[in-house]
Structure 1
Amino acid sequence: MKKIAVVLAGNGVYDGAEIHEATLTMLSIARNGAQYQCFAPDIIQTHVVNHVTGEEMPEIRNVMVEAARIARGNIKPLNEYNAADFDAIIFPGGFGVAKNFCSYAFDGVDCVVIPEAENAIRNTVDAGKPIGALCIAPVLVAKILGDVNVTVGEDDADANAIENFGGIHVKSTHGEIVVDEKYKLVSSPCYMLDATIDQIADGAENVVVKILEMI
């Protein structure tokens, strides 16, 4: 049975992993006959956002502890990820990707990527195994790898950032995927567009199915 690593940036769209994208990715993996293991960096998240008001809260939370809520406790530190043990890796989106995995949300093209995220992506590429990236995650991958073909939907600012990193941005709509054959990278816009949960399910499913075909 194929085994896919799912990397979570916390718990909640505004400061962590996007829960619909994460959950529907795991569902798609299971329904297509594969297994998943969740990972997250064992670090303090950048900040905590009240998901009712959108305001920052005076709290300190850990990315892996928060992500464990989605993983139902079955989660491992991202620095323990070994590409040799998995057939592919997928990064759901959420602002945590741009806040906890890197500083893109604050520093734009001058952002810095945490070592755990960069090592996971580079090691997967070196192993010749597929990578999935949903929502804002293609920006993270472009920052690390440079010359990638990816999509974040129709957002010009993030498309410009991808091209600044050396990549090529391909516009897309709901459920569509863009495949980079060189890096075995599959991306889909998901909530970078004004989407419904069933459209997110389509995007996650199409990414997972394509990745399984590439394994």
Structure 2
Amino acid sequence: MAAVRALLAPRLVAAAASTFAPVPGLRPLLLTGPVPAPRAAFHGSAPRPGARVALVLSGCGVYDGTELHEASAVLVHLSRGGAEVQIFAPNVPQMHVIDHTKGQPSESETRNVLAESARIARGKITDLAQLSAANHDAAIFPGGFGAAKNLLCCIAPVLAAKVLPGVEVTVGHEQEEGGKWPYAGTAEAIKAMGAKHCVKGVTEAHVDQKNKVVTTPAFMCETALHHIHDGIGAMVTKVLELARK
């Protein structure tokens, strides 16, 4: 899972613009879209306006969209931190649809990433094409295979590695350690992109102070759900600290 402060968002948006170029079989992002929904303060009792955070989703479901537990944990921690949140997703067809009871593609189904992401957002969602860096202090990208299939070429921290040369990120450990870190090989992909991988535990977050990027392993680790929740909380806390600077 990755978060990027909007101080560098112009670079991120510029890189993303080329990354989101039309792919054979996929409809390109629309230049126009639904009227952006007003930002919802998910923690209405916050004593003062908090950081303005864009949450970017990639569908609904770990195998073909956003990992729901990660998205939910992000929203809970942002709420507790008094952040002002606006949720986005690309208005494009999913790469494919997975039957989560079987872990296999459902060949006869097609779904839209924005429509699926709206399930998590409770309908309060905006086309990603409408995202403006000037309107936000930070952006957070929950993980899930949808980040690979519907946004970029790999999971969320690799997004930062792809668009910010030399960035420091973490996806946890670099060895599988008997299956505890089943996706440990991702660290090598990060290094191959010219980024630096930093080994961290599942409850920790890594902060790249230079690039204003915060990452945490989340479901890269096979562990209890509350450990993943705590790691996401550490990431959100660091993001909000950066947003205040």
Q: Which amino acid aligns with 1:172?
A: K
Q: Which amino acid aligns with 2:217?
A: P
Which residue number corresponds to residue 138 of structure 1?
A: 157
Name the stretch that deviates more: 193-202 or 72-81: 193-202
Once the two structures are superposed, the pairs formed by residues 66-105 of structure 1 within 5 Å of their partners are 66-104=116-154
Q: Which amino acid aligns with 2:139?
A: I
Equivalent residue in structure 1 for 2:194, among 163, 166, 175: 166
Q: Indicate the SS of the match to 1:5.
A: strand
- Size of the aligned set, in residue pairs, is 184
- The whole-number CA distance in structure 2 between the counterparts of 1:209 and 1:103 is 27
- The whole-number CA distance in structure 1 between the counterparts of 2:71 and 2:77 is 10
Which residue number corresponds to residue 171 of structure 2?
A: 152
Equivalent residue in structure 1 for 2:113, among 47, 58, 63: 63
Which residue number corresponds to residue 128 of structure 1?
A: none
- The TM-score, its normalising length taken from structure 2, stands at 0.73
- Report the CA distance between 1:175 and its aligned residue: 1.2
Question: Is this contact kept in 1: 2:171–2:184, CA < 8 A?
Answer: no
Which residue number corresponds to residue 46 of structure 1?
A: 95
Structure having the higher Rg: 2
Which residue number corresponds to residue 24 of structure 1?
A: 73
- The TM-score, its normalising length taken from structure 1, stands at 0.83
2:237 is aligned with 1:209? yes
Once the two structures are superposed, what CA deviation does each residue of 1:71-127 show, in whole Å capped at 9, x if it has no partner? 0000001110011111111000000001111234xxxxxxxxxxxxxxxxxxxxxxx
Change (3 A) 1:73 1:93: same
- Report the CA distance between 1:137 and its aligned residue: 0.6
Higher helix fraction: Structure 1 or Structure 2?
A: 1
Equivalent residue in structure 2 for 1:175, among 187, 193, 203: 203
2:223 is aligned with 1:195? yes
Where in structure 1 are there 5+ consecutive unaligned residues?
Answer: 105-135
Identity of aligned residues (%): 46
Structure scoring higher RCO (CA < 8 A, sep ≥ 6) equals: 2
- The whole-number CA distance in structure 2 between the counterparts of 1:38 and 1:203 is 21
Question: Is this contact kept in 1: 2:53–2:86, CA < 8 A?
Answer: yes
RMSD: 1.0
- The whole-number CA distance in structure 1 between the counterparts of 2:228 and 2:165 is 26
- The whole-number CA distance in structure 2 between the counterparts of 1:151 and 1:211 is 15
Name the stretch that deviates more: 192-201 or 72-81: 192-201
- The whole-number CA distance in structure 2 between the counterparts of 1:181 and 1:158 is 22
Where in structure 2 are there 5+ consecutive unaligned residues?
Answer: 1-48, 174-182
- The whole-number CA distance in structure 1 between the counterparts of 2:84 and 2:232 is 15
Once the two structures are superposed, what CA deviation does each residue of 1:142-161 show, in whole Å capped at 9, x if it has no partner? 01212111001124421111
Name the stretch that deviates more: 35-44 or 197-206: 197-206
- The whole-number CA distance in structure 2 between the counterparts of 1:195 and 1:10 is 24
Stretches of 4+ aligned residues off by more than 4 angstroms: none
